[in-house]
Every structure is written in structure tokens, then in C-alpha cells.
Amino acid sequence: MLRNLLLFTLLAGLTACSDPGPQKVKLEGHTMGTTYHITYIDPTGQQDEQQIQQKIDALLLQVNQVASTYMPDSELSRFNSMQSTTPVQASAMMQLLVREALQLGDLTQGYLDPTVGPLVNLWGFGPTHRPEKAPSDAEIAAMLPQIGYHQIQLNGDQLSKTRPELYIDMSSFAKGYGVDAVAELLDQNQIHNYLVEIGGELKTKGQSLAQKDWVIAVEKPMTDEQVVQRLFQPKDNAVATSGDYRIFFEENGQRFSHLIDPKTGRPVTHRVASVTVVHPSCMRADGLATGFLVMGVDKALEIANAEQLAVMLIEKNPDGSFTEHYSEAFKPYLHQMSQN
């Protein structure tokens, strides 16, 4: 009996030694023309990190193969190159992304339009070319009839367009979708404390290894250095920020933003430098941040307050200083940080 008791104690000790407890894991890689960074808490310290990353990379590759405009053989690129209005069968992921594109178009009153791609390309901010000067009024006018998300038709799994030359660009929310997909994958692998970031769009859940809520920094919209504008805790939410202060070109002393207003066909001219949206869905937050950035402060706050969306806009003043604007739903995040 004594020998058996000693054996049991030894085995129990070995089992205890093999379970180190919760461990912080960091993963990083490349996807969608940018990078990803993932921090999660392995609840037992025994999960296979390499296997988790392989699943993540395979998932993100699948998203690229559906939604990329840079890959000529992606499902979206093949649809865009099809000079026909004949319906084609869309994959389940494509259906989800198209439905979101249409909903975002409605929610932003057309300021986020996934068919604006030809105008983006015309101004030199897309995958096709980089012109050295602004397009002419005639070129813009000729392109405008091709723009309009209502020309996308989705009936069941059948996707079509009412104009053969219609071109869909999902880059304004595809990274957000990737974040949501990775977060869901982590949940499926019994990982419930994480921070997932792809190209600046992110989602948090649970807490860090120190059992503290994740803290997110919003960058001051400056081109020459990285400075924190504001810190806040999104809790179990996604955060997406869009800005127009890094991607632009200049001609004859005039600055042209990469954000194109689909209603005018021209870059935006207001002073909103960045927009941050907090939402349970990173895909929705990603698209809304771009749409609100295009429309400007007044319209953005009007829609955000009407829809109870958490939005912060940073406006650059003529003297170089910045002014923050918040929707009512965003204000609790400010109060939350002031109490910590």
C-alpha cells in the first residue's frame, strides 16, 4: 500500500509538472498585403502554437483567395473581370461579404460604396497603376455611371451585376472580416482571451495574462511619427481606425487624399484625419470607419448617434492641432479610462 501511495504521488507530481498553467502566446505573419499580430492566452500552456498558426494562415489565405483584388485568380477578381451580367454561383464567404457590402452601403447612405474601385484606380490608389497627375473632369464624369452598389445583385447564392464593367472592391472591410474569422477560430480552439490585429484593425476578448482588460491606443494622425492620441479599453469588441494622413499624392501644391467620395468621384476635402469605430464585428467597424471618414464630422455623428454606434473622429485644425469628436455611444469608453 505504501509503495502504491508513493507511485500515485509521483505520478500526480509528474502530471502537475506537465501542466504549467496559462501562458501568453504571440504569433505574427503576413496577409492581405499587410501584417498580423495575435496575442492570446493558452489556458493550459500545452497547446500546439505551430498548429494554431497553421490554421490561422490557412484561414487568411482562404479570405485572400475570395476577396483580394490583387490576386488575379481570386473569386472577386474573376467576378470583376467577367464582362457579363450573367449570374454566377458565389461561395458562402463571398455571399457573406457581398451582403455586408450592401448593408454598409445602406447604413452609410452610399458614402461607403464597394463599387468605387474604378475611381480609386483612376486616381492612382488601387492595384492597377500610379498616375503622376489628377484625372481630368471628363475622365471622372465618364467613370461615375459605373459606380453604385445597387448595381450588385445577390439572389440566394447567385451573384450578378447590372453593368458588365462593374468592379467590386472589398478592401475597406476585408481585413476586418479576417480579424473576425481568426477570433472565431481561436474561440473554436478553446482560446477565449486574445487580441487579434490585422493591418491595424483588431478585436479583443477576455483579459491579458495579468488578468487586466486589453488597452488599445489610437494613434495621433501624423505622417512623420507615431504618437498616441488616446487610450481606451474596448472590452469584448473590435476596433477599426481609418485615416487619410499617410496615403496621398501632391500635384502643383495640392494634396489629394486616397479617400474617394463616390458621390463626386473626387478625393475628400474636409479636415477629418481619422475615424475610430468600436463594434462587436470588426468587419462592420472596418467598413464604417471608412464610410464615416469619407462623409465628414457632421454627417458621421448624425448617423452614428441615430444608429447608436461608438465613433470617435479626429479633425485636424488649420494650426496643426487636433480636435476630437465623439458619438454618444463612444463616451462611456472615455469615462472608463478616466476612472482607471
Per-domain residue ranges for the chain? Answer: 23-66+173-338, 74-161
Is a pLDDT exceeding 50 seen at residue 199? Answer: yes
Fold of 74-161: T-fold (1.10.3980)
Query: What pLDDT was estimated at residue 196?
Result: 98
- Among residues 238, 172, 194, 196, the alpha carbon closest in space to that of 35 is found at 196
Averaged pLDDT for residues 306-314? 96
Neighbours of 92 (CB within 10 A): 9
Is a pLDDT exceeding 90 seen at residue 312? Answer: yes
- pLDDT bin (cut points 50, 70, 90) of residue 124 is confident
| CATH architecture label of 23-66+173-338 | Roll (3.10)
The chain-wide mean pLDDT, for the chain, equals 87
Query: Are the CB atoms for 289 and 138 separated by under 8 Å?
Result: no
Residue 64's Cβ-side half-sphere holds a number of Cα atoms within 13 Å equal to 15
Q: Please determine whether the domains at 23-66+173-338 and 74-161 fall in the same fold group of CATH.
A: no
Averaged pLDDT for residues 108-130? 82
pLDDT tens-digit map of 211-231: 999 998 887 775 556 677 778
CA separation for the pair 82, 78 (Å, rounded): 6
- pLDDT bin (cut points 50, 70, 90) of residue 129 is low
pLDDT tens-digit map of 97-109: 999 999 999 999 9
Which of 4-18, 194-208, 236-250 has the largest mean confidence? Answer: 194-208
CA separation for the pair 41, 26 (Å, rounded): 9
CA separation for the pair 331, 69 (Å, rounded): 37
Residue 220 or residue 316, greater confidence: 316
- Among residues 175, 217, 184, 171, the alpha carbon closest in space to that of 76 is found at 171
- Residue 22 Cα distances to 48, 182, 334, angstroms: 13, 20, 31
Q: Residue 43 is inside which H or E element, if any? A: none
Do β-strands 158-161 and 152-155 pair in parallel, antiparallel, or remain unpaired?
antiparallel
Chain centre distance of CA 326: 20
- pLDDT bin (cut points 50, 70, 90) of residue 121 is confident
